[in-house]
Amino acid sequence: MAPIPQGGTVAVTGSAGFIGGWVVHQLLEEGYRVRACVRDANDDDKVGFLKAMPGYASGRLSLHSANLDEAGCFDEIFKGCQGVAHLSHVSTYDDMEYVKRVCDHVINSVNQSETVNRVVVTSSIAAVMSESDMQELVRRPVLYEDRYPDEQNPKRQANRGQGYSMGKVLAERAFADAAEESGRWDAITCCPGDNVGPILSAHQKNFGPWQHHIETMLLGQYSQNVIGAYRAWFTVDVRDVAEAHIRMLESVNVQNGERYIAWSTETRNVEDVCASIDRLLPELGFAGAELIDPLPESVQAKEAQFRAIWGGCDLRNDRICDTLGMAFRPLDVSIRDCVETLISVGGVEPVRRPGF
Ligand SMILES: NC(=O)c1ccc[n+]([C@@H]2O[C@H](COP(=O)([O-])OP(=O)(O)OC[C@H]3O[C@@H](n4cnc5c(N)ncnc54)[C@H](OP(=O)(O)O)[C@@H]3O)[C@@H](O)[C@H]2O)c1
């Protein structure tokens, strides 16, 4: 199918979110018209930053209330759009029937629009490497687009913490299949790594989870990453993820059903992320933070083993660099800008050494 035309109209679901907000911002910067989909367009705590964007004053950016749990919620919004960037979360990842149903809500609205050419579906690296058995990462350590978690493992169950990964794989396939069936539009998947970078609105400091982890560091205590025990952060700057979404909408080189991992391939252990704050911003006088380990003792005993397994993984981003010409910011830049906006936009008061 076709890429979106320059200056065309793009609907962005999850626009009030960390990544969605940046996609809106960068689409406007590049001259597009944007329909920002949020759950409540009157909730100014969440959408005030969108209303403050210059494009809102002219009408090039419009805001639309839509809850994807409701069938038909995007029908009117998508009509006249050429592109859709589907970034929103869903209400739960514990129920695959529900996840499929809400995918169908979006898909049906795309089909009904008769104008949408391309949908970018935001998945996750959890759809690449979330393993029920860590040894699977030893057997298949190369983390690239054609890799999926071991879907045959009997422990791959939503009630064993695999729902997010399962829901993302389900969504990727649901969109690609529907696009192929329609013959009118295509679906390209973006699998972002761990997003770090500047927040655009104070409420975004509570989500992430990565910017929230940095917020807790600034407040003096932080925890091991409970998403994957003792995994280092596999990072990407949120602005680079936004740019990747736009390049996927514009590209003439992508095909329906393809997925692109968006990460820089830079990795850093959580304690080193915390130590980076003082190294990057000595002026702050950051007092440092205490590392809390909430994981059960049986898991803590395996810390060295888990770190070694993750450390043996080979993170690849050749496909996104070659096909879309992406270049990624260094993590130091993302951490610095995250910290500065947590303070200036989020109102976070860091713990400081005496005299600062
Ligand atoms: N952050 C990361 O590191 C990361 C990494 C990999 C993949 N991802 C994926 O990237 C996407 C965006 O992540 P994010 O970090 O930007 O998330 P976020 O800041 O939590 O924003 C997600 C947005 O989803 C919206 N949402 C949730 N349930 C909804 C529903 N039922 N109907 C309509 N909207 C709903 C929320 O809208 P309202 O605010 O309007 O209520 C929220 O703003 C997600 O799909 C996530 O899985 C994120």
**What is the domain range of residue 48?**
9-197+234-267+314-329
Give the mean pLDDT of 166-194: 98
Q: Is the pLDDT of residue 87 over 70?
A: yes
285: in domain: no
C-alpha of residue 303 to centroid of ligand 1, in Å: 30
Residue type (1 letter), 98: Y
Answer whether residue 292 is part of any domain. no
Q: Is residue 111 part of a domain?
A: yes
pLDDT of residue 227 exceeding 80: no
User: 200-210: per-residue pLDDT in tens?
Assistant: 999 999 988 99
CA of 23 to the centre of ligand 1 (A): 12
Count of structural domains within the chain? 1
pLDDT single digits (tens) 316-351: 999 999 999 999 999 999 999 999 999 999 999 999
Per-residue model confidence (pLDDT) at position 13:
98
**H/E run at residue 338:** helix 331-344
Residue nearest to atom 12 of ligand 1 (CA): 87
**To which H or E segment does residue 71 belong?**
none
356 CA from centroid of ligand 1 (Å):
36
Between the CA of 255 and the centroid of ligand 1 the distance, in Å, is 25
* 221 Cβ inside 6 Å of ligand 1: no
pLDDT tens column, 134-157 = 999 999 999 999 999 999 999 999
**The pLDDT of residue 298:** 87
Residue 43, both tokens: 């909730």
Q: Which of 128, 132, 127 is nearest to 142 (CA)?
A: 128
- The pair of structure tokens assigned to 81 is 């759009």
User: Does 203 fall in a domain?
Assistant: no
Tell me if 18 CB under 6 Å of ligand 1.
yes
* 147: in domain: yes
Residue minimizing CA distance to atom 17 of ligand 1: 17
Specify the 3-state DSSP secondary structure of 60.
Answer: coil
User: Does any ligand 1 atom lie closer than 6 A to the CB of residue 68?
Assistant: yes
Cβ 17 under 6 angstroms from ligand 1: yes
Atom in ligand 1 nearest the alpha carbon of residue 195: 3
How far apart are the C-alpha atoms of 26 and 250, rounded to whole Å?
Answer: 13
Q: Is the CB of 189 under 6 A from ligand 1?
A: no
Beta bridge partners, 291, equal: 222
Which residue out of 38, 65, 84, 89 has the highest number of ligand 1 atoms within 8 Å of its CB and is therefore the one to mutate?
Answer: 89
- Asked, for residue 51, whether it belongs to a domain, the answer is yes
What pLDDT is attached to residue 117?
97
Distance 142 CA to ligand 1 centre (A): 27
Kindly state whether residue 272 falls inside one of the protein's structural domains. Answer: no
Six-digit token pair at 198?
Answer: 């500047």
Judge contact between 9 and 83, C-beta under 8 A.
yes
185, 158, 189: which is closest to 172 by C-alpha?
189
Expressed in angstroms and rounded, the spacing between residue 17 Cα and the centre of ligand 1 is 5
Please say whether the beta carbons of 88 and 57 come within 8 A. no
Pairing of strands 267-268, 233-237: antiparallel
Cβ(130)–Cβ(165) under 8 Å?
yes
Query: Residue 124: its pLDDT value, please?
Result: 98
pLDDT in tens, 232-282: 999 999 999 999 999 999 999 999 999 999 999 999 999 999 999 999 999
> Across the chain, what does the average pLDDT equal?
96
Q: Is residue 225 part of a domain?
A: no
Amino acid sitting at position 119: V
Give the SS3 label for residue 146.
coil
Nearest CA to ligand 1 atom 7: 124
Q: In CATH, what number is assigned to the domain containing residue 320? A: 3.40.50.720
CB-based contacts of 237, cutoff 8 Å, min separation 6? 195, 196, 197, 264, 328, 329, 331, 333, 334
Going by the DSSP 8-state scheme, the letter that residue 183 receives in this structure is S
- For 84, phi then psi, to 5°, come to -130, 130
pLDDT band at 299 (very low <50, low <70, confident <90, very high): confident
**What's phi and psi for 314, nearest 5 deg?**
-110, 105
Distance CA 137, CA 112 (A): 42
